[in-house]
Amino acid sequence: MLLSIKTQLKLNSKERVLMSKHAGIARFTSCGGLATWQALYKDGYKPNHRFLRTFFNNHVKTNPDLFWLKENGICQKITEFAFEKLGNAYKRFFKGLGDYPRFKKRSKSLGSFTINSGGKPINVGGTRIKLPTIGWVKTYEGLPHTSTTKFTVSERAGNWYVSFSFEQELPKPSIKIPIIGVDLGIKVLATISSGVVFHNPKARDRMKKKLAKQSRQLSKKTRGSKRYLEQKLRVAKTHKRVHDIRLDATHKATTTISKNHAKIVVESLNVKGMMSNHKLAGAVGDANFYEFRRQLEYKSKKFGSEVINAFPFYPSSKTCSNCGHIQDMPLSVRIFDCQSCKVSLDRDWNASKNLEKLGL
């Protein structure tokens, strides 16, 4: 199956400049391409990305004022991919699958670019990658020993990332427990029917306090001033840190769950409905439901297990996992005290046990 990886690059200042140049050219290309496309369309033509590329190569690249487009060490593949991306965005738009392509703003991120080596496979593995034309760059994380055909390099909050896809054969399932119910929580990340609880990391709460403080400081600064922009970068970095801590905890939980259980029963959460409930919105968004489910789905494929969705509105929280009695359970009630058989257990654990039963 096709797996993909996105990981942070460990760059020196010279490499950062080089990446910014590439991203800048990709942005210049797609903005120019978009403007040309719109102009041609107004004149009654039906442009496509191949036409734009030819136009760009023959007329724009030959302009002596735009010498920096062809500077040494700049991979010329990036403009090709920028046009291809634009063409795909238009295709999606015409099929009604996406919004009208927009001009890329520089304010949020330096952007991204994609490069390849003419379709030839490129080996990766360990903590270095040889990017076409650019050369060797380091990564923080060790990469699997495999090969790919293209890389996308992108920037967020001052950090650079590389992403790529690769083929991997499905491993034989190494399953210990046949079936498990998973209750995705607000107070805790997840509770599974064996009784294991995956907690929200404490570090994240500390960072959230810091984030609130930094945001307050930002609101006091003059918009657009140097101090404002510096503070904005600080806020973006903290946002990223909060996000990373949560993502890391989610990854650990979903790996453990999908690696060790053959069948995983989860609630089919009406997350959108919960999101519209204001009181819950913050907590639910935070609890990362969508991401948790997404990870479970792809990791279960990787480890040879299976994710089963409970039918919508299955009352996993309101049902007694011991006797089947159904009773009202407001969100504030953390313990399920069965009014029928008198069993008493944690609300989330009770729910996960019911999900497990559903799978049987």
First to last CA, the chain: 28
Residue 165 or 322: the one with the smaller Cβ distance to Zn ion is 322
As measured in angstroms, the least distance from the Cβ of 353 to Zn ion is 11
The tokens of 218 are what?
Answer: 């930002």
Q: Output the CA angle 120-123-126, nearest 5 degrees.
A: 160
The tokens of 183 are what?
Answer: 């209750």
Residue 36 or 319: the one with the smaller Cβ distance to Zn ion is 319
As measured in angstroms, the least distance from the Cβ of 319 to Zn ion is 9
As measured in angstroms, the least distance from the Cβ of 339 to Zn ion is 8
Residues 114-133 that bind Zn ion (CB under 5 A): none
Among 325, 327, 345, 346, binds Zn ion (CB under 5 A): 325
As measured in angstroms, the least distance from the Cβ of 347 to Zn ion is 14
340 binds Zn ion (CB under 5 A): yes
Instruction: Give the interface segment with Zn ion, choosing from 20-28, 58-66, 79-87, 320-328 (CB under 5 A).
Output: 320-328
338 binds Zn ion (CB under 5 A): yes
Question: What dihedral do alpha carbons 38, 44, 45, 46 form, nearest 10°?
Answer: 80
320 binds Zn ion (CB under 5 A): yes
Instruction: Give the interface segment with Zn ion, choosing from 1-9, 261-269, 296-304, 334-342 (CB under 5 A).
Output: 334-342
CB 121 within 8 A of CB 149: yes
Among 322, 327, 345, 357, binds Zn ion (CB under 5 A): 322
The tokens of 209 are what?
Answer: 């306090």
Residue 307 or 320: the one with the smaller Cβ distance to Zn ion is 320
Among 35, 39, 283, 323, binds Zn ion (CB under 5 A): 323
Instruction: Give the interface segment with Zn ion, choosing from 123-131, 237-245, 313-321, 351-359 (CB under 5 A).
Output: 313-321
As measured in angstroms, the least distance from the Cβ of 324 to Zn ion is 7
What are the respective helix, strand and coil percentages of the chain, to the nearest 5? 45, 25, 30
Distance in angstroms (rounded) separating the CA atoms of residues 18 and 74: 8
Instruction: Give the interface segment with Zn ion, choosing from 169-177, 214-222, 328-336, 338-346 (CB under 5 A).
Output: 338-346
Instruction: Give the interface segment with Zn ion, choosing from 107-115, 201-209, 271-279, 339-347 (CB under 5 A).
Output: 339-347
Strand partners, 96: none
Distance in angstroms (rounded) separating the CA atoms of residues 357 and 306: 15
Instruction: Give the interface segment with Zn ion, choosing from 126-134, 261-269, 327-335, 341-349 (CB under 5 A).
Output: 341-349
Residue 288 or 354: the one with the smaller Cβ distance to Zn ion is 354
329 binds Zn ion (CB under 5 A): no
The tokens of 44 are what?
Answer: 């009654």
Q: In sequence order, which ranges of the chain are alpha helices (DSSP H)?
A: 13-42, 49-55, 77-94, 202-220, 226-260, 271-275, 278-287, 289-303, 347-359
From 262, 260, 317, 269, select the one nearest 293 (Cα to Cα): 269
Fill in the amino acid letter for 277. N
Residue 12 or 344: the one with the smaller Cβ distance to Zn ion is 344
The tokens of 168 are what?
Answer: 């991997």
> What residues make contact with Zn ion under the rule CB under 5 A?
320, 322-323, 325, 338, 340-341
